Amino acid sequence: MTFTDFGLSAEILRAIDDLGFDSPMPIQELMIPQLLAEPSDVVGLACTGTGKTAAFGLPLIHGIEIDNPSPQTLVLCPTRELCVQITGELESYGKYMRGLRVTSIYGGDGYERQIRELRTGTHIIAATPGRLLDLLERRRADISGIRTLVLDEADIMLKMGFKEELDAILESAPAERQTILLSATMPDAVARIAKAFMKDPVELSVGIKNTGPQTVEHTYCTMRQQDKYQALKRIVDFHPTIYGIIFCRTRAAAGEIAEKMVRDGYHAEALHGDLSQSQREHVMGKFRSASVKLLVATDIAARGLDVDNLTHVIHYDLPTEADIYTHRSGRTGRAGKIGTSLALISEKERGRLRWIERSIKRRFVETKVPGKQEIFERQLMQLVDLVTSVDVGGDEMSSYLSLAEEKLASLSRRELIQRFVSLDLNRYLQYYKDRKDLRPATKSDYRSDRKNDKRHFDDRRGKRGRRTDFKYADSSNGYDWIAVDIGKNGRVLPLDIIGLVNQGTRGVHIRLGRIDIGSSKSWIQVESGFSGIVEEALRGTVYNGRRLSVERVAISPGRAKKTA
* pLDDT: which is higher, 466 or 134: 134
Angle at 272 between CA 267 and CA 275, to 5 degrees: 95
Of the listed ranges 218-227, 384-393, 466-475, the one predicted with least confidence: 466-475
Q: Give residue 282's pLDDT.
A: 87
Q: How many CB atoms lie within 10 A of CB 441?
A: 22
* pLDDT: which is higher, 262 or 396: 262
Q: Give residue 473's pLDDT.
A: 38
CA atoms within a 13 Å half-sphere pointing along the CA-CB vector of 315: 30
Would you place residue 480 in the very low, low, confident or very high pLDDT band (cuts 50, 70, 90)? confident
Q: Give residue 452's pLDDT.
A: 55
* pLDDT: which is higher, 562 or 297: 297
Do residues 501 and 495 make contact, with C-beta atoms less than 8 angstroms apart?
Answer: no
Give me the residues paired with residue 75 across strands: 126, 150
Q: Give residue 213's pLDDT.
A: 63
Identify the helix (H) or strand (E) that includes residue 246: strand 244-247
Longest CA span, the chain? 95
Range 390-419 average pLDDT? 80
Q: Is residue 461 scored above 50 in pLDDT?
A: no
* pLDDT: which is higher, 6 or 545: 6
Q: Is residue 362 scored above 50 in pLDDT?
A: yes
Do residues 535 and 482 make contact, with C-beta atoms less than 8 angstroms apart?
Answer: yes
Q: Is residue 235 scored above 90 in pLDDT?
A: yes
Q: Is residue 80 scored above 50 in pLDDT?
A: yes
Would you place residue 466 in the very low, low, confident or very high pLDDT band (cuts 50, 70, 90)? very low
Q: Give residue 463's pLDDT.
A: 41
* pLDDT: which is higher, 461 or 438: 438
First-to-last CA distance in the chain?
74
CA atoms within a 13 Å half-sphere pointing along the CA-CB vector of 8: 32
Instruction: Could you please state the CATH topology (level 3) that the domain comprising 3-205 is classified under.
Output: Rossmann fold (3.40.50)
Q: Give residue 238's pLDDT.
A: 93
pTM of the model: 0.61
Do residues 267 and 236 make contact, with C-beta atoms less than 8 angstroms apart?
Answer: no
Q: Give residue 212's pLDDT.
A: 56
Most confident of 454-463, 464-473, 527-536: 527-536
Nearest to 215 by CA among 334, 117, 306, 303: 334
* Per-residue pLDDT tens over the stretch 90-112: 999 999 999 999 999 998 778 89
Instruction: Could you please state the CATH topology (level 3) that the domain comprising 443-563 is classified under.
Output: Alpha-Beta Plaits (3.30.70)
Cα 378 to its chain centre, rounded Å, is: 29
Would you place residue 488 in the very low, low, confident or very high pLDDT band (cuts 50, 70, 90)? confident
Range 265-271 average pLDDT? 91
Range 340-345 average pLDDT? 94
Do 3-205 and 443-563 show the same overall fold? Answer: no
Q: Give residue 322's pLDDT.
A: 79
Q: Is residue 516 scored above 50 in pLDDT?
A: yes
Would you place residue 462 in the very low, low, confident or very high pLDDT band (cuts 50, 70, 90)? very low
Q: Is residue 288 scored above 70 in pLDDT?
A: yes
Identify the helix (H) or strand (E) that includes residue 480: strand 479-484
Would you place residue 545 in the very low, low, confident or very high pLDDT band (cuts 50, 70, 90)? low
Q: Give residue 402's pLDDT.
A: 79
For the chain, the domains span: 3-205, 216-371, 373-390+401-432, 443-563
Of the listed ranges 65-74, 209-218, 271-280, 431-440, the one predicted with least confidence: 209-218
Q: What percent of the chain has pLDDT over 90?
A: 34
What CATH number has the domain spanning 216-371? 3.40.50.300
Nearest to 216 by CA among 258, 194, 180, 245: 245
CA atoms within a 13 Å half-sphere pointing along the CA-CB vector of 465: 2
* pLDDT: which is higher, 315 or 417: 315
Nearest to 109 by CA among 90, 86, 83: 83
Q: What is the overall mean pLDDT for the chain?
A: 83
Range 59-88 average pLDDT? 91
Give me the residues paired with residue 524 across strands: 482, 515
Q: Give residue 360's pLDDT.
A: 83
Q: Is residue 275 scored above 90 in pLDDT?
A: no
Do residues 331 and 312 make contact, with C-beta atoms less than 8 angstroms apart?
Answer: no
